Every structure is written in structure tokens, then in C-alpha cells.
Amino acid sequence: MNKAFFCKPMESKEFTARIISLSDMDVLQKVGKETFYDSFIDITPPDDMKAYLNSSFSSDVLQTELEDEQSKYYFLELGDVVVGYGKINFDKAPYGMMEIPHSMEIQRIYIKKEFQRMGAARKLMHVFFDEAKRRKCNSIWLSTGSFNNHALSFYKKYGFEKIGNHEFPVGGKIFEDVILLLKR
């Protein structure tokens, strides 16, 4: 039998997104820790990284977030492989600012290193935009590191604009974030 018949190469990248639930918590914990670590270990002292991963991805925190009706977590998959994840929240005010009515926050979007630059995050953004439309959210906001040029150029492509700053603690280290807004 032809071996290639069984080992079909992944020539086309068909990413799919799905909303996850409590039963996905272990995988979420693993992919969440792995992608945050890989993204920021070069600029984060190891103890601060450890403290952040342990607090932000504890089972208690994830369970509360997964059960929150004002939030949704998504996995982005290629076949049955989880290549990244994202989280959106509804009607939450940008840090220290007035609430923006009918708004959606993109709190997290993380793609595993080996699957970056293949259109994975673009796929997730389209899913988020569809959800914003469905919920009649005409403002989408997020915050990301002012040093994070990859993310900043990614968001700029969609027309996000800076509306403020915010401090983001990772353990004892404080990062400067920018708050971006997209009006649709």
C-alpha cells in the first residue's frame, strides 16, 4: 500500500475555532502556560514568570473564567491539534476608563510558536468579529505590551487605535501595556 496515502501532508491550513468548556480545562491550562512562557520568558525574570503562570492559570481561576457567562474561551485547532487559544469578554470597562457600552474585549490571543505566521490568529479574529456582530458590540478593545511589536502590527492591520495605557503586572515585574480600540 502507498505510504503517502496514510501520511497525507498538511498542505492547506484549515484552522477551526470552537468554544471550550470545563472539560477542556487541563488542555487550556497547558496551552495557556506554554504560550505565555514562550512569548515572554526572554523579558521576564523566571520567578515572576512562575508566579504569574501559577496564579493566572490555576485550576480555580480557569474554572471561574470558564463558568463566567460574560466571557468565552476558544481553542483554535488544526485537525485535532490545539494550536492556540483566545478569550473574549463582554461589557467590561477598559482599565481605569469609562465603560464603553456594547463593547467586547479581546483579552487573550495566543498561537503556539510553531504555528505562527500561518493565518491562525487571523482566523480567530474573524470568529471574534462575528461574535461581536452577533452581540451587537460596535466597539472592540484590548490591551497589549507596548514592547510587543508583533502583536501591535497584527492589531494595526484591523484598524485598532491607541486610546490609553495600562500597567500589567507579571509576578513582581510591571509591563507597560497600550489599550487599543476598534470602532465598527
Ligand X SMILES: CC(C)(COP(=O)(O)OP(=O)(O)OC[C@H]1O[C@@H](n2cnc3c(N)ncnc32)[C@H](O)[C@@H]1OP(=O)(O)O)[C@@H](O)C(=O)NCCC(=O)NCCS
Query: Which residues are at the interface with ligand X (CB under 6 A)?
Result: 39, 108-111, 116-122, 144, 148, 150-151, 153-154, 157
Name the minimum Å distance from CB 12 to ligand X: 14
Closest CA to 91 of 67, 109, 116, 68: 68
Name the minimum Å distance from CB 88 to ligand X: 12
| Distance (Å, whole) CA 42 – CA 108 | 19
Name the minimum Å distance from CB 41 to ligand X: 12
Nearest CB to ligand X, comparing residues 102 and 113: 113
Nearest CB to ligand X, comparing residues 22 and 81: 81
The dihedrals phi and psi of 72, each to the nearest 5 degrees, come to -140, 135
| Distance (Å, whole) CA 23 – CA 21 | 5
Name the minimum Å distance from CB 7 to ligand X: 25
The residues assigned a catalytic role are 155
Nearest CB to ligand X, comparing residues 44 and 144: 144
Nearest CB to ligand X, comparing residues 22 and 55: 55
CB atoms within 10 A of CB 171: 17
Closest CA to 49 of 177, 170, 174, 175: 170
Map residue 102 onto helix, strand or coil. Answer: coil
